[in-house]
Structure 1
Amino acid sequence: MAKRQLLLLSSSAVHGFEIFDFAKDEVNDLLSGNKVDTVLFIPYALKDHEAYLKKMAVPFTKWGYTLEGIHNCEDPVQAVNNAKTIYIGGGNTFRLLKALYDLKLIEPIRKRVLEQGIPYIGSSAGTNVATVSISTTNDMPICYPPTLKALNLVPFNINPHYQDPEPESKHKGETREERILQYLEEEDSYTVLGLREGTMLSVKGYNAVLRGIKSSGARLFVKNQQPEEIEIGADLSRLLKGDKNGESCKCLQ
């Protein structure tokens, strides 16, 4: 496996910041370090691809990069094969994954990222599909991909937009933590990293670090263990344990 380079964001939009601005240093370090000038954008999580492209092109253009929409390419597979960097944006995760399967992009993306080492940026739904499966997405199943199995660029699942229970809330429904714990009750479940807004996971090869706004952080859920609070700057390379042969690990020992 080549040295994978992933930047997996909870979201591209954070309160108090313009789009992507909270992550501009990490994005620029990743792209400039790979001498990238053009980024292939995959907007399939939203219906209006062109409007989405124009919106997301604003920060990239400001930083000196060209954002190319895969929906404008005659051959999506060839576009992936030629890409120097892939960015998959947020929206509905089910719609996104279905499109990736319908267009036969799963294996080409995996090959480019895991075997050839091109950078991959994901936000929200784009982060969900980078994991083992989309089983821990917050989205409604508005359409049906052939399977919930995703790109498997990392051997665990992520829950973007993770929210803690509000002590003063009158809402009596299940919390995000309760829903993730219910998922972990299933036999085929995987470790889940709950990314709060303003956080991102930077993966380089077999090293992983939580980055983002200092006041934020993440919550780690492992089967048969108590949830663990993760601070910004924490080394999470242990999440990649067992992945050196491309195998997903269901839990950490």
Structure 2
Amino acid sequence: MSSRSLLLLSNSTVHGSGYLEWAAHHIKEFLTGKNVKRVLFVPYALRKMDNYAETAQKKFTSWGFELDSIHKAEDPVSAVNNAEAIFIGGGNTFQLLKSLYDNKLIEPIRKRVLQDGIPYIGSSAGTNMATVSINTTNDMPIVFPPSFTALALIPFNINPHYIDADPASKHMGETREERINQYHEIPDTPAVLGLREGALLHVTGQSAVLKGLHPARLFRCGKLPEEFPLNTDFSFLLQ
């Protein structure tokens, strides 16, 4: 795990800006710091993969990186094995995970990231992929993966797009906090880090630092939720 290098974004776009613009500095610094020239993009979370890949390619090209989409590769496993860096984009988490299983990519990606140390970027559903399981996604199960177990690049879960309850709202359904607390009613479930939109977690080896625009909310079994400010080191969650 000492070579693990992850950049886990809550989301791709924040209000008032374009695709990945809010995280541009972090992404460019992350990739250049590892001397990455070419990124392998995984667009499986959306059905219109050509359009999705084109959007990602335009952005990364504007930053000076080349980008290939895995959905155009003859052999997805070989594409992963030869990748300098991997970026898994957002969309539907269930569809994404099923596609990773269908293409037999779970173990190859884990090996490349955890053993070979290639950089991994996730956004939204792609961030869910980096966690223990997809049990804390916000998405609907439009397809059924063979397991909810994800890549387990980190030993806890994340709730991307975490949103606080609006005290002025008349909505009577469960809040995001209540849903995560319901998850923790199941024995032995891992901690869940609620990443608000515009927040990211930068994981390097045994360090995990909160960056971006907003604080994060941490949920653990048997404990009250806690707020943590930007630049918090969440390395205690990696133990």
- Distance between the aligned counterparts of 1:57 and 1:232, measured in 2? 30
Residues 1:129 and 2:129 are matched in the alignment: yes
Letter of the structure 1 residue corresponding to residue 228 of structure 2:
I
Question: In the alignment, which residue of structure 2 is the partner of 1:50?
Answer: 50
Shift of 1:217: 1.4
Letter of the structure 2 residue corresponding to residue 234 of structure 1:
T
Q: Quickly say closer, same or farther: Cα 1:2–1:82, change in 2 above 3 A.
A: farther
Q: Deviations over 1:123-182 (max 9, x none)?
A: 000000110000000000011000100000000000000000001101000000000000
- Distance between the aligned counterparts of 1:80 and 1:2, measured in 2? 20
How many residues were matched structurally?
239
Letter of the structure 2 residue corresponding to residue 182 of structure 1:
Q
What TM-score results when the alignment is normalised by the length of structure 1? Answer: 0.93
What TM-score results when the alignment is normalised by the length of structure 2? Answer: 0.98
Q: Secondary structure at the match of 2:209?
A: strand
Is the CA contact 1:2–1:116 (under 8 Å) kept in the aligned structure 2? no
- Distance between the aligned counterparts of 2:123 and 2:132, measured in 1? 16
Q: Which moved more, 1:28-37 or 1:130-139?
A: 28-37
Is the CA contact 2:85–2:118 (under 8 Å) kept in the aligned structure 1? yes
Question: In the alignment, which residue of structure 1 is the partner of 2:108?
Answer: 108
- Distance between the aligned counterparts of 1:238 and 1:109, measured in 2? 24
Is the CA contact 2:6–2:120 (under 8 Å) kept in the aligned structure 1? yes
- For 1:131-170, list aligned pairs within 5 A: 131-170=131-170
Shift of 1:2: 4.5
Structure 2: any 5+ residue segments left out of the alignment?
Answer: none
Shift of 1:209: 0.2
- Distance between the aligned counterparts of 2:58 and 2:209, measured in 1? 27
Q: Secondary structure at the match of 1:161?
A: strand
- Distance between the aligned counterparts of 1:48 and 1:18, measured in 2? 19
Q: Secondary structure at the match of 2:202?
A: strand
224, 227, 232: which one aligns with 1:226 = 224
Question: In the alignment, which residue of structure 1 is the partner of 2:84?
Answer: 84
Q: Which moved more, 1:9-18 or 1:68-77?
A: 9-18
Question: In the alignment, which residue of structure 2 is the partner of 1:98?
Answer: 98
- Distance between the aligned counterparts of 2:79 and 2:188, measured in 1? 34
Question: In the alignment, which residue of structure 1 is the partner of 2:64?
Answer: 64
Q: Quickly say closer, same or farther: Cα 1:239–1:189, change in 2 above 3 A.
A: same
CA RMSD of aligned residues (A): 0.8
- Distance between the aligned counterparts of 1:64 and 1:38, measured in 2? 9
Q: Deviations over 1:94-125 (max 9, x none)?
A: 00000000100000000000000000000000
Shift of 1:188: 3.5
Q: Secondary structure at the match of 2:27?
A: helix
Find runs of 4+ consecutive structure 1 residues off by over 6 angstroms.
none
